[in-house]
Structure 1
Amino acid sequence: MKLRHLPVRLGAGAYILSSGVDKLSADEQAAAGYHGMAAGAYPFLEDVDPKTFTRALAATEIGLGVALLVPVLPRVAVATGFTAFSAGLVGMYWRTPALRRGANDPRPSPDGIGVAKDVIMLGAAASYLVDALTSSAKKAGVRATKKARKAVHH
């Protein structure tokens, strides 16, 4: 792990892990709330049982949080998961009119302020992904150049 990735990985990882752990103990009412918000934005989730949905969401958050905190998986894989998760949350924000001031106004309503932070998380995730991809591409290019030079000299 690169030192420059540490702040975003620790901050986001701890936040996401905590959120997932909290959802493990969600009661029926809380599960219905999580499910209702998600199904309102993503209708294909309507037929999923709220408790099942909440357990799956908790597992996803715990897995992503741990992946961000413990640098054992490839950076590109972690950054891709982080970006996809954050994009899903921003999609939910955008598709839930009550969270914004107006239909085409991206600014949060009072009810949306707590969810609007996901835009910042998506920016951090996308930055991490771009860095991971460009770093991986650069390393691959250096390896290919060395291999080509070695082949020419032999």
Structure 2
Amino acid sequence: MASGAAWRFAARQMPLRLSVGAFFLNSGLSKRGADQATAEGLQEFAATTYPFLGKLGAQQFARLLSAGEIAIAAALLVPVVPAAIAGAAVTAFSAGTLGLYFGTPGMRQEGSLRPTEQGTVLAKDVWMLGIGISLIIDGMSEHR
């Protein structure tokens, strides 16, 4: 009976895990061989909100970002990884991207939470936050 219950949870999580996992895998693989200019652009953008990232070399930053995204994809796509762990990884990453949204000038309309055209690319990551939190809650309820 317990394995049947676990299967139901896994089936319910599958659309979330597959769609977000595929997104992370594509994003991580696309950054894997980033050229110098791309790596510098990624790092400079991130360092505007998170200055400690400016201490890394641009290529090192791009490799770490790529590896992190691929690791999150693996946590989502490998069914034996508990939902709460996969959800925590997605939640942490999306909190970081939303931090960029809130901390980078020009991402939001003046005096508002609404994104500018440039900010939409980060503001949309709020869906990842919701999915991550949902997986955490679902994973925690599996162990009740």
TM-score norm. by structure 1 comes to 0.83
What one-letter code is carried by the residue in structure 2 that aligns with 1:127? S
Are 1:86 and 2:104 matched, yes or no?
no
Aligned to 1:95: 103
- Cα deviation, 1:94-149, whole Å, max 9, x if unaligned, reads 111211112x421110111122211111111111112212332x1xxxxxxxxxxx
* CA–CA distance in structure 1, aligned partners of residues 99 and 136 of structure 2: 18
From 110, 114, 122, give the equivalent of 1:115.
122
2:3 alignment partner in structure 1: none
Which portions of structure 1, spanning 4 or more consecutive aligned residues, are displaced by more than 4 angstroms? none
Unaligned segments of structure 1, at least 5 residues? 139-154
1:50 equivalent to 2:65? Answer no
Question: Aligned partners of 2:74 and 2:105: how far apart in 1?
Answer: 32
| Relative contact order, higher structure (CA 8 A, sep 6+) | 2
Q: Higher Cα Rg: structure 1 or 2?
A: 1
2:40 alignment partner AA: A
Q: Percent identity?
A: 41
CA distance in 1, matches of 2:142, 2:106: 40
2:136 is aligned with 1:133:
no
Deviation at 1:65, TM superposition (A): 0.7
Please tell me whether residue 14 in structure 1 is matched to residue 31 in structure 2.
no
Q: Which has the higher strand share?
A: 1
Structure 1 residue matching 2:90: 3-state secondary structure: helix
- In structure 2, stretches of 5+ residues that fail to align are 1-8
State the aligned residue count. Answer: 136
Q: In the aligned structure 1, how far is the partner of 2:51 from the partner of 2:24? A: 24
- Equivalent in the alignment of 2:31: 23
